[in-house]
Structure 1
């Protein structure tokens, strides 16, 4: 079973329920000001699934208002993107002078770095929250402002794929081991990156520069999905996106990294996760290296030491010792 924390308001005195859930939400998502007509005897339940850098938290709670104010942002900002899959209930999201309504099987995208006001309506809301660090989805601020706040359908396309994954994952975590958490977090990060790229591309009012950044985001998601493929090269990446290799290199010059360096860095990150995985402790290091695109053990060891300051063998020993 995955590592998870469970909160049930019924397990504590009525007077303590609202404040305790507010505190938990502040740690799970970001500090917020909450208001509810049910605060004197608030009913809520929440599970928090630890998926490495990513957090998933299904919850049911009574109607309330969430406020993420500039003052709270200055005080504490975890710098994360938050996605809410609405399962039951309705409400509205207010960003400055813009307001958008949501209904069941909408996905809402928020940023902990931007102020917002969220109203829920009806007796209660059931949703699945997803927290992804902004560093894993490096959207420029102008692009982030275009996707946050607006509902995305979870009934079709990319939104439906993400909704199905979240629904199946939270329905039963028993088949998974705690070590599966970071792997599942990586899958979710890639799915969110693809969803954001798709959402931005659908906005035909975007200026050319934003379309270029969106294409770069989509290419990075493609690279993550094909790290195992030994044929992953700038030429195959360019062909898959119907652009020239020279244009691909120009896109990555704006990112201050070469295509090859991006591929190498992501492959090293993947190998590093495998080396620290207790379930793979018997897998030979050279097999892990080959799996992630390093057929020559000496090349892998040299690149690994340059990136992390330790050999793959030393890092594995330290990681497994920490698990013990």
Structure 2
């Protein structure tokens, strides 16, 4: 099954449960001040599934508050996007100058670089809060930060469209984790990134009604999504990208300059990242390196090898060899650790 980490406070003495919970959340989600009205017996559980660098979590706990302060951010910032989906209960998020409440079926985005006060309250007879979500390193999301930042605290529905697809992906993944192998984790992580990127692009499309300059982040997001979908095409070029979006090539370059990048550099980096990911995938170990490179828009093997070595410091063949050895060792270590600490599903 997928590599997982599980914490159940009922497995520790009652007096230690809340402290153990607080330490665990600060370690997995980012340092925060965590409080609850009743800490004498704190029945809570969290399950985290590893999808490579990304993690899917499910959590059940009594009402509590989580305060991510500017001081704690300065001390430690894991550089994560948090996507939360309340399943039972509600969340009230307070930031300087704004406050909002979220209910089941609202997808909510947070950033560990931004201070917030979150109050999780129970609804109904259970007295507990149930939620699921994603922890995503910011650098994994191939979208302009200025666009993503506009979605923080903005509720996105999980009832229909791409939001529903993402919600179903998260819930089914948690339910069927035993159906997968540890090596499936990174591939499922790629699916999660694609769904998340599509959701954000869809959510920002509503900004099209704003003045031209206000639509720049939306256009930049759309262009990067387009590039992601056409990385396999060796003819992907700035003039073709500009024509597909009905803008001039010079305007396209200006959009990327605002993100301290160039179009060609960003395309090459995305392609190299896809090749690097595939070279580290045990399921593709028998696929020739030149075929992997060609799949991601590098038709000339010599040019690809030079570009890969310049970025990662190793020839592609040696990188694959080391990555597969490291993956085997990590999977073995995690499986051993999981066997010691695994508990039943929360």
So what's the TM-score if we normalise by structure 2? 0.85
* Matched position secondary structure for 1:49: strand
Query: Which residue pairs with 2:117 in the alignment?
Result: 117
Match for residue 228 of structure 1 among 217, 229, 232: 232
Q: For residues 43-78 of structure 1, what are the alpha-carbon distances to aligned partners after superposition, in whole Å with 9 as ceiling and x for unaligned?
A: 111111112221211111111111111121121111
1:135 CA drift (Å): 2.6
Cα RMSD, aligned residues only: 2.2
Query: Which residue pairs with 1:76 in the alignment?
Result: 76
What is the correspondence of 1:122-137 to structure 2 with a 5 Å cutoff? 122=122, 123-137=127-141
* Matched position secondary structure for 2:299: coil
1:261 CA drift (Å): 2.3
- For residues 32 and 97 of structure 2, the distance between their equivalents in structure 1, rounded to whole angstroms, comes to 20
Query: Which residue pairs with 1:104 in the alignment?
Result: 104
Query: Which residue pairs with 2:18 in the alignment?
Result: 18
Query: Which residue pairs with 2:59 in the alignment?
Result: 59
What is the correspondence of 1:201-216 to structure 2 with a 5 Å cutoff? 201-203=205-207, 208-216=212-220
- For residues 199 and 148 of structure 2, the distance between their equivalents in structure 1, rounded to whole angstroms, comes to 13
- For residues 235 and 161 of structure 1, the distance between their equivalents in structure 2, rounded to whole angstroms, comes to 33
Pair 1:47 & 2:47 matched: yes
Unaligned runs of 5+ in 1: none
Aligned residues: 323
Query: Which residue pairs with 1:276 in the alignment?
Result: 280
User: Is contact 1:94–1:149 with CA below 8 Å preserved after alignment?
Assistant: no
- Of the structure 1 ranges 194-203 and 29-38, higher mean CA displacement relative to structure 2 is found in 194-203
Q: For residues 233-254 of structure 1, what are the alpha-carbon distances to aligned partners after superposition, in whole Å with 9 as ceiling and x for unaligned?
A: 3344334434344432332233
What is the correspondence of 1:184-195 to structure 2 with a 5 Å cutoff? 184-195=188-199
1:86 CA drift (Å): 1.2
* Matched position secondary structure for 1:21: helix
- For residues 289 and 145 of structure 2, the distance between their equivalents in structure 1, rounded to whole angstroms, comes to 37
1:289 CA drift (Å): 1.3
1:208 CA drift (Å): 4.1
- For residues 68 and 221 of structure 1, the distance between their equivalents in structure 2, rounded to whole angstroms, comes to 31
- Of the structure 1 ranges 223-232 and 101-110, higher mean CA displacement relative to structure 2 is found in 223-232
User: Is contact 1:78–1:112 with CA below 8 Å preserved after alignment?
Assistant: yes
Pair 1:179 & 2:179 matched: no
User: Is contact 2:208–2:218 with CA below 8 Å preserved after alignment?
Assistant: no
Match for residue 271 of structure 2 among 267, 291, 296: 267
- Decide whether aligned partners of structure 1 residues 89 and 273 sit closer, same or farther in structure 2, where only a CA change above 3 A counts: same
User: Is contact 2:289–2:317 with CA below 8 Å preserved after alignment?
Assistant: yes
- Decide whether aligned partners of structure 1 residues 208 and 21 sit closer, same or farther in structure 2, where only a CA change above 3 A counts: farther
- Of the structure 1 ranges 88-97 and 155-164, higher mean CA displacement relative to structure 2 is found in 155-164
Query: Which residue pairs with 1:312 in the alignment?
Result: 316
Query: Which residue pairs with 2:150 in the alignment?
Result: 146
Query: Which residue pairs with 1:35 in the alignment?
Result: 35
- For residues 17 and 239 of structure 1, the distance between their equivalents in structure 2, rounded to whole angstroms, comes to 59
- For residues 304 and 177 of structure 1, the distance between their equivalents in structure 2, rounded to whole angstroms, comes to 29
- Decide whether aligned partners of structure 1 residues 318 and 47 sit closer, same or farther in structure 2, where only a CA change above 3 A counts: same
* Matched position secondary structure for 1:43: coil
Query: Which residue pairs with 2:343 in the alignment?
Result: none
- For residues 71 and 258 of structure 1, the distance between their equivalents in structure 2, rounded to whole angstroms, comes to 35
Unaligned runs of 5+ in 2: 330-346
1:212 CA drift (Å): 1.0
Query: Which residue pairs with 1:8 in the alignment?
Result: 8
